[in-house]
Amino acid sequence: MTRRGTGTSRVAVVGSANLDLVVTTPQLPRPGETMLGEGFRMVPGGKGANQAVAAARAGADCAFVGAVGDDDFGRTLRENLTSAGVDVRGLRELPGPSGVALIAVDASAENLIVVAPGANAGLADLDDADRATIAGADVLLTQLEVPLPAVTRAARWAHDAGTTVVLNAAPARQLPAELLDLVDLLVVNQHEAAVVAGRPESAEADGSLDALLALVPRVVLTLGARGAIYADRDGRRLAVAAPTIDAVDTTAAGDAFTGALAVAWAERAGPDTTGPDSTGALTDVLRWACAAGAACALRPGAGTALPTRTEIDALFATTYAGADR
C-alpha cells in the first residue's frame, strides 16, 4: 500500500506481553483428557506485544507500554520487542513471573489458549512518560489483556490529545461506558462482537454490528477466512474478502490484522480520528489488514509469524490487483 504523505505512522500500544508455550497435537484435547502432542516451541506473544511487533513490521514507528516479570521469560519478551524495532522505554520489569500463554494447535490449525497474566496484571499506574508517548502517536492500539483502568486511562489521554483510539476487545468482555465513549474504532472477531454487544453467539453478524454501533462510532468485524466487515454510524458498511490461502496456523492472524489495520489507518487518515476520507481508501486499509492476517496464517507460531510490510504488500497486490474498490 502506498503511504499517504511523507511521514511514518506512529502507533502506541498499551497491552500485554506473554511467552507462548505452544504444543502441536493431532486434535485439541477435551476437558479431563491427556493427549500426546507432536512438537513444542516457546514463542514471544501476548496480544499487546504481538500487535506492537505487527505494527512495527508493517512499517510504523511503534512504542510499547506494558510489563514483564523479573525472570528469563521477561528478558526474552523485551528482546523480542527490541529486535522488531519497537521502542520499549514504556516496558516495566515488575517483581514476579512474566505472563504466559499455554497454546495447543491441532492439525486443522484450530487452537485452544489459556493465559496466566503474571506481570501484565500489575500494569496499573501509567505515568507522564506514557502519556507523552500516547499523545505523540497517531493511533493508540490497546486490548483487554491488561487491567481495565490502565486501558481506560490510556484511552482518555489519547482522546484528549487527538490520538485515534483503536480498541481490540480481546479477550472479550462487556465494557463500561467510561471506556466505550473514548473508542474511535473497535476491532472484534465474531465471538468478541457477540460478547461486547451482549448478544447470543449464534446471532447474525449484522445484528451484532448494529448493537456495537450503539456503543462505539466505528467497528471492524473480522470473519477469519471470510475476511472482514467495516461499519460506522454514518451508515457506511464495507465487506472485504480475505486472500485465499492454505492456512497453517491462525494463532496470531487477528493480531497481524489489527496491527496492520492501525498502521494503515494512521497512514490514510493522518491525525483525523474519523478515519480514511474515501470509500476507496477505506477499502485499501481493510484489504491490507486482511492481507496481513492471511500472511500470518501461512506460517506457524504467533510472534514469529507476523508479516513484514513487503510480505503484506506482496499478498495485497496478488490478491486484490484489478479488484473494484
Q: Going edge to edge, which strands form the sheet with 218-222? A: 87-94, 61-69, 10-14, 139-142, 164-168, 185-189, 218-222, 228-232, 237-240
Task: By CB under 6 A, tell whether 243 contacts ligand ADP.
Answer: yes
Q: Which residue number, 118 or 227, has a Cβ lying nearer to ligand ADP?
A: 227
Residue 284 · residue 82 · CB < 8 Å: no
Rounded least distance, CB 41 to ligand ADP, Å: 19
Binding part of the chain for ligand ADP, among 96-104, 146-154, 156-164, 293-301 by CB under 6 A, reads 293-301
Binding part of the chain for ligand ADP, among 32-40, 118-126, 136-144, 249-257 by CB under 6 A, reads 249-257
Task: By CB under 6 A, tell whether 113 contacts ligand ADP.
Answer: no
User: What track of x and - describes contact with ligand ADP for positions 251 through 290 (by CB under 6 A)?
Assistant: --xx--x--------------------------------x
Task: By CB under 6 A, tell whether 208 contacts ligand ADP.
Answer: no
- Count of C-beta atoms within a 10 Å radius of residue 180: 20
**Residues ≥6 apart with Cβ < 8 Å to 79:** none
d(CA 154, CA 219): 20
Q: Which residue number, 117 or 259, has a Cβ lying nearer to ligand ADP?
A: 259
Task: By CB under 6 A, tell whether 45 contacts ligand ADP.
Answer: no
Catalytic residue among 255, 277, 313, 324: 255
Residue 86 · residue 64 · CB < 8 Å: yes
Q: Which residue number, 134 or 220, has a Cβ lying nearer to ligand ADP?
A: 220
For residue 249, indicate whether it is catalytic: no
Binding part of the chain for ligand ADP, among 81-89, 138-146, 147-155, 217-225 by CB under 6 A, reads 217-225
Locate the DSSP E strands across the chain: 10-14, 18-24, 39-45, 61-69, 87-94, 99-105, 111-116, 139-142, 164-168, 185-189, 218-222, 228-232, 237-240
The residues annotated as belonging to the active site are: 255
